Amino acid sequence: MPLSSTDRSELDEDTALERFAIDGTVPPHANVGSTQSIDLRGKAPDQPKQIALGFNVNMSQGAVEAALARVKPFVFGGANKVLDLMIELAFDTAGLAPATGRRWTFAEKVTHARSFEGDLPPLTDRAPEVWERLLVSYVNLEEVRHSLAHRRAHMDPSTGDLVGHDRGGSSLRPVTVTEQEQFARLALEAADAVIGDALPIRLHNQLAWRANQLQGLHGRPPIADTAEPVPLVNVQLDLVPLDDGRWRLTADDILAELRKTFQAANRFDADCHATVNDVERVFVCRLEEQSGVIDFEPGSPPPGIWERR
């Protein structure tokens, strides 16, 4: 059966606490406290630009990180719950059903996941390579989840690695701190895509990059053409007025100029300014997702560009 808005709302409600915990303990990228911005308004290409760089220094950062490290295993467990509920929803959407009763057993879920079954748009139709790696990770983490649930796992105090034990008491392969963090962010962001029924280019790239950091869990080859999420660059720019009342965004030219200044950046949030009937209006977009020359009526911006109200 198709995935309904009710299904997405229930996933949102059922995972809200876990996603909140992940978002509050695992930063989306390194240098999360830094900011970058540039103002291109009223500037010719050869004129100087106003660039601002900001750095957030937290004097108690070490103590905060030490405290967060102690709860990382619980956050990792929460991420497994988020993925578990997504997988159940994928099976339901594909018309699969538990063998007995209304509840899936963990063994059934692992069996179906091992066969790459399930339907969970937009992941399964637009990011199948990410979905496959999520399912393989889910299968390979079966004993770790069981160990966590039965309190047979511990955190290595020197490395932060999560060390579980199988049902015979032998130590499992440790899940590194990086793997715990990237798995948690991947579960969070994948759930966000499903709940919002949207997978923009930027989010797709983030999911693929995070999946690549989990090769130790899923063993699949790297997904090509991905880039590590880095701090955003906030861009202020002027749209170009046209004689017919439309406005022009020269996306490729602006991106080429920005990449000369911010060589390591791959995410640009743009505020595009236009004055219509003596009223300033601001249109926003993820600039790296735009291309070419875009002309549009202010009352009907194209997909990917929307007016800030």
Residue for token pair 């004689």: 243
Sketch the domain layout of the chain as residue ranges.
5-39+64-218, 233-307
Whether residue 227 has pLDDT greater than 50:
yes
Please, what is the average pLDDT of the chain?
A: 88
Residue 68 banded pLDDT, cuts 50, 70, 90: low
DSSP 292: S
Q: What is the pTM of this model?
A: 0.81
Q: pLDDT (tens digit, 9 = 90+) per residue, 110-167?
A: 999 999 999 999 999 999 999 999 999 999 999 998 888 877 888 888 888 998 888 8
- Is the pLDDT at 64 greater than 70? The verdict is no
- Residue 198's pLDDT is 92
Residue 289 · residue 283 · CB < 8 Å: no
pLDDT, residue 153, reads: 85
pLDDT of 59 reads 43
